[in-house]
Structure 1
Amino acid sequence: MIYPARPWLIAGFLVAIALCLGSPARAQIVAIGASNVAGRGVSSSDAWPAQLEGMLAAKGRSVHVTNAGINGDTNAGMLARLDSAVPAGTKIVLLDRLGGGWNARRLHQGDQTAELAAIEARLRSQGIRVIPMWWNAVLRNYLQPDHIHFTPEGHRVVAAHMLPSVISAVH
């Protein structure tokens, strides 16, 4: 006896399996910080988190880097929004430890240090690896006219310097 619907049932079953399996797992990375993470003054594709994702893809790493930077953010602000900015399944957080939002507001350095410690402790307690955002005096050569925010090339330099640390963390 011939069952004309059988090939369609088999095809549907195979499609259902493929949908359930989905694509290969992608490591979830979140960059959190202030305006130099957010990419103030440059396009979102020029901000270092996007450039880092592209560099990782070029090296064969299947990752997604979420840009959770907010212009003018402070450590207190990052701590308050940590649960919403860093979703379940995040493996690595790239942390802006030197965001200028707190400095511009003349907030107390001791409070900033304690808030950073609280951010890192909470992330590590969830098994999330924390990698500090790379900063160096050489970046002064890659600032916009405001002398605060990176140019697209400055963002590329940051991404390139962070790349080896992130690759080793992704395994």
Structure 2
Amino acid sequence: MNCHIGRAMMFAVVFSIAPCVSEAVKAETIRIVALGASNTNSYGVSPGEGWPAKLERMLRAKGFDVRVVVSANNGDGTAAILGRVDSVVTPGTRVVVYDSGERNDIRRGVPAGVARANAAQIQARIRARGAVPIAANSLAVPPHLLQEDKSRGPHANPQGHSHVASRLLPQVVAAIGKKK
């Protein structure tokens, strides 16, 4: 009889802690990738002032356990960004906030149809890798939130990066779901 009671208690303990173990597995840090070119790379401001860092802080302030990983190179166009998707959108990446680099393509004379096709492929590849794509290049930064760089064109100033992060926040929250 003692053996039966011992087994019953063991099963009770195992089944009572199983949900806790399950919750611990779910509580992993949410990986978000910021993919793009110079504005994503915080060009012209310190990395802590760029929208990726600000977005991460905003999400953490709302109680989300997140890490925003930046994969951005100044001047990249759609082809270069498309070429990085498979290497940076690794298994477990939940969201990719991306700037497709179309503005850089336009400055270089890449045909608009080619840039649009590459941008569509960026989004499709992100989805195919199991992440939610959110386009950051559709978030226009008002002129008063830009700083002019004669050689590279306008880029967001610190307030412009705050503007972008604030506009992205509700979209990212919707994509990642509930807090831990």
> Same fold judged by TM-score > 0.5?
yes
Percent of residue pairs bearing the same amino acid type: 39
SS in structure 2 at match of 1:79: helix
Counterparts of 1:114 and 1:99, CA distance in 2 = 10
- 1:170 and 2:173 correspond: no
Matches within 5 A, 1:18-97: 24-97=27-100
Distance 2:36 2:94 in 1: 17
Deviation readout 1:109-160 (Å, 9 max, x if unpaired): 1001111111111121222111111522x52111113251110110011001
Residue 165 of structure 2 is matched in structure 1 by 159
The amino acid that maps onto 1:118 is Q
The answer to whether the 8 A contact 2:93-2:130 is kept is no
TM-score (norm 1): 0.81
Determine the C-alpha separation between the residues in 2 that align with 1:83 and 1:56: 25
Structure 1: 5+ residue stretches without partners: 1-20
Question: Alignment RMSD, CA only?
Answer: 1.8
Which letter does structure 2 place at the counterpart of 1:135? L
Shift in Å, 1:88? 2.1
Match of 1:110 among 108, 113, 116: 113
Counterpart AA for 1:64: R
Map of 2:133 onto structure 1: 130
Distance 1:153 1:143 in 2: 8
The answer for unaligned runs of 5 or more in structure 2 is: 1-23
Separation of aligned partners in 2, 1:24 and 1:91:
13
**8 Å contact 2:36–2:76 — kept in the other structure?**
yes
Q: C-alpha deviations, 1:59-117, integer Å up to 9, x for none?
A: 00111111112100011001112122222211111111454321221111100111111
In the alignment, the residues of structure 2 paired with residue 71 and residue 78 of structure 1 have an alpha-carbon distance, to the nearest angstrom, of 11
Counterparts of 1:46 and 1:38, CA distance in 2: 10
TM-score by length of 2: 0.77
Q: What SS does the aligned partner of 2:44 have?
A: coil
Letter in 1 for 2:52: P
